[in-house]
Structure 1
């Protein structure tokens, strides 16, 4: 069983070639004419996700999380978009309890030719309430966060912090706050990029698991702050 799974759990050059051609021929006629190539690419994606799920399961609560629930559709929602291209230029999946719609901080994997693939996780488009919780943690107890994101292994694997940053000072905090740079962040999403050569390695799924293990403490902290921390009762 292990050998069979490993042989299917990898991306191949034809999959990246299909994605490149899709960018140049992003229309329904071409896509349907080349449906077998897409089906083959999706099968490879499913194999990689299956292997990543197996690798994450020892340290993540992923019971009853199916492969199909982790994969994003390739069709774009063009109802309110000026760009009417019907298909995305990438393959993607997100892994959290129950799949991509867990509602929690999860692991997002983006596969796109041209060395644009990446593993990412963290605070992205938080609700105002969750952003307030993040800033409160930075104000009251920043050491736990900094111990995670400033660790050598973390910075080596996730050198790129993405997300919107305020140019002004957030309300309620002084401009000379010692952690003002963290407080100005409206998003704090870390990424590790992969070359096409790395994506095509047989060990790519295992590399995703390795990166996920490194960023897990940051995800755990955010999930605790946003969803698991109990509100302290108000005493009069």
Structure 2
């Protein structure tokens, strides 16, 4: 489970996002990061049972993203993220493709999955798969439990114009116009601090798993 001091550190970091404060509290960061890594190791073991494409040899420390922000092209020059991001890829240790993502932030944690902003050739393949086999995708995203957990799948960023080679009267055009194919579910602080937090999150990922399979099949 995620410890309260981990959340406290993130809250304090949000209020003191500067190098002097961070260096003075480096030991708190190290302890918080170790908590997140240990939690991720536990989650990986559970997740492999749900999605065999997620390697059981994946190390938690390689899944926890850097807390240092890339400020080179950003107007926001605060040097640190105020969250821990955890990427659980299903195609080895590299990011990209259909995966799972856990975001830990006081009051704003969530679990997500799917494929965010696919590269051009993958996007083309996914759209083609939807055009050919939309029934399979709809069976996943229109299931009552899926909608209850993740909302309306088409309520995410779309093209304003029609994709090349697709007509406006295509019955699946709202799915085909999507730029990303992701879902997310918010997590309360009490849920991530629970002794059963890893099991709860893995259970939610089990509902995302069929979507990831559909997306992986489309690009493979």
Match among 133, 140, 144 for residue 132 of structure 2: 140
Residue 114 (structure 2) pairs with residue 111 (structure 1)? no
TM-score (norm 1): 0.86
Pairing 1:113-128 to 2, within 5 Å after superposition = 113-114=106-107, 116-128=108-120
Structure 2 distance, partners of 1:222, 1:157, is: 19
Which residue in the other structure is 2:37 paired with?
A: 46
Separation in 2, partners of 1:104, 1:170? 21
Separation (CA, whole Å) in 2 of partners of 1:181 and 1:124: 17
Return closer, same or farther for 1:100/1:16 CA change in 2, 3 Å cut-off. farther
TM-superposed deviation, 1:123: 2.2
**Judging changes above 3 Å, is the alpha-carbon distance between structure 1 residues 75 and 99 closer, same or farther for their aligned structure 2 residues?**
farther
Residue in 2 that maps onto 1:202: 195
Query: Any idea what SS the aligned residue of 2:49 has?
Result: coil
Q: After the TM superposition, which of the residue ranges 122-131 and 58-67 deviates more from structure 2? A: 58-67
Aligned residue in 2 for 1:5: none
Offset, 1:98: 7.0
Aligned length: 217
TM-score (normalizing by structure 2): 0.91
- Between 120-129 and 94-103, the greater mean CA deviation after superposition: 94-103
**Aligned residue for 2:49?**
58
Cα pair 1:160 1:192 within 8 Å, conserved:
no
Structure 1 stretches of at least 4 aligned residues deviating more than 3 Å after TM superposition: 97-100, 160-163
User: Are the counterparts in 1 of residues 99 and 115 from structure 2 also a CA contact under 8 Å?
Assistant: no
Give 1:173 deviation, angstroms: 1.5
Aligned mate of 2:67, from 66, 70, 74: 74
Alignment partner of 1:22 is 2:13: yes
Match of 2:167 in 1: 174
What SS does the aligned partner of 1:57 have?
Answer: helix
SS in 2 for 1:220: helix
* Cα offset, 1:29, TM superposition: 0.6
**Which one has a bigger Cα radius of gyration?**
1
Offset at 1:100? 5.2
SS at match of 2:159: coil
Task: Give unpaired runs (5+ residues) of structure 1.
Answer: 1-9, 229-236
Change (3 A) 1:103 1:170: closer
C-alpha displacement of 1:72: 0.4
What is the Cα deviation at residue 143 of structure 1? 0.5
Contact 2:45 2:56 in 1 (8 A): no
After superposition, the CA RMSD in angstroms is 1.7
Residue aligning to 2:146: 154
Task: Map Cα deviations across residues 85-115 of structure 1 (whole Å, 9 max, x no partner).
Answer: 111011011112476525431110001112x
- Bigger Cα displacement from structure 2, 163-172 vs 14-23: 163-172
Is residue 98–residue 114 contact of structure 2 (8 Å, CA) maintained in 1? yes
